[in-house]
Amino acid sequence: KYVYLTEWIPSRLSNFDNPIELSLVATELAKLHKSSCGFNVTEKMKARIGWFSWEEVFETRKNEILDFRNRIYQKAY
């Protein structure tokens, strides 16, 4: 069985208009990505978040958005 622990810390929304804060956020995000280097999700892990179906989910959501857009345009004219 696979598990992971995360330490929860107080936070707030980042101000991406502030170049100093943006740099700090980007640096921390880079650390996160570097820490996951070499981590491989396998079918055995039974991940609940759809690691192996994200391309299909993306395509489905994209098509739903385009369908909604078409319906809106049809009603607008």
CB 27 within 8 A of CB 33: no
pLDDT tens digit sequence for 23-45 = 999 999 999 999 989 988 787 87
3-state secondary structure of 61: helix
* pLDDT at residue 42, as a whole number: 80
Q: What is the mean pLDDT of each run of 10 residues along the chain (77 residues)?
A: 76 94 96 90 76 87 96 85
Domain ranges for the chain: 19-76
The answer to whether 24 and 18 are in contact (CB under 8 A) is no
Residues composing the chain? 77
Give residue 18's pLDDT.
Answer: 97
Contacts of 41 (CB under 8 A, 6+ apart): 47, 51, 52
